[in-house]
Amino acid sequence: DRLNKREVSGNLAHSEVLDLCQRTPLFMRKWIRRIINRSFVAGVGIATLEKIFTNLDVPSFSLQLCSEFDEKPLKELFIIEPKMDGIRGVIGPFGPEKEYRVLSRNGKPLWNVDYHIGIAKQIADLYGADIVFDGEFYAGNWNKSMSIVKTQEDHADVDSLEFYCFDMIFFDEFLDKKSVLPLGTRKKILVDLVEAVHDDRFHYVDWLYSKDLDEIKMITESYLRFGWEGSVIKNPEAVYTFDRSGAWMKYKPILDTCDIDQAMQEG
């Protein structure tokens, strides 16, 4: 419980887990290990466990994922936003007392993100409802970002870690996996709230609209030159699907070598 509430961390947490294992019968130790690693490989899914053990505090959820963009023309205007090169994370009231936490795509805790939790709570309080913020943590490059969020002790570069939020879902909808608002509306709410707080380390991901294939390629190439992975093409009329779908499509073309050299010289 102390681990769950993050009352202990780092070497102290390691010592307490080791002490618990030494005082536990051998046949139970593997389950302690699985609980800590959030790996319940026992032929029973998390959904079934939650029905049996109603107080089981193991956050389980599904995030919206991207399919591949097939470079076919679009019939309607779609959102075109940069595909970041950071660490996917959601900020929301996932704790036992609905305290805000940051979890990875796989439901594991991320670290050195207390600052961003504070901003998320401030935004949610401003709106007057519990909100889940979906986005990526980024500190200049993927390796540095990963190092910061996976280090349980204070990290020397923590002040360089920023959160780029590309979506928001009300917590009740997130729990029920039944989104109501279309993406365009969710983004408008998100922009208004983030701009109201105006913090240098908590951003919304900006976007453009297009349905023209050549224009989408041009926008994506500009993102690549800027250092992002490519673009994500999203249907503004779609609800949050909690699964992989055509509502979000990733597009990662490879720039010509000459283009890359030119971009590096310009940078």
Q: Give the domains, in start order, of the chain with CATH numbers.
A: 10-52 (no CATH), 65-266 (3.30.470.30)
CA 153 to centroid of chain Cα atoms: 21
Cα separation, 23 vs 35, whole angstroms: 16
Q: Are 51 and 60 in contact (CB under 8 A)?
A: no
CB-based contacts of 177: which residues, under 8 Å, 6+ apart? 61, 62, 242
Q: How many CA atoms lie within 13 Å of 229's alpha carbon, on the beta-carbon side?
A: 15
The pair phi, psi for residue 104, each rounded to 5°, is: -75, 180
Written as tens digits, the pLDDT of the chain (267 aa) is 565 656 666 677 767 777 777 787 776 777 667 666 655 555 555 555 455 445 555 557 899 999 999 999 899 999 999 999 999 999 999 988 899 999 999 899 999 999 999 999 999 999 999 999 999 999 999 999 999 999 999 999 999 999 999 999 999 999 999 999 999 999 999 999 999 999 999 999 999 999 999 999 999 999 999 999 999 999 999 999 999 999 999 999 986 644 544 544 444
The per-residue pLDDT for range 183-202, each reduced to its tens digit, is 999 999 999 999 999 999 99
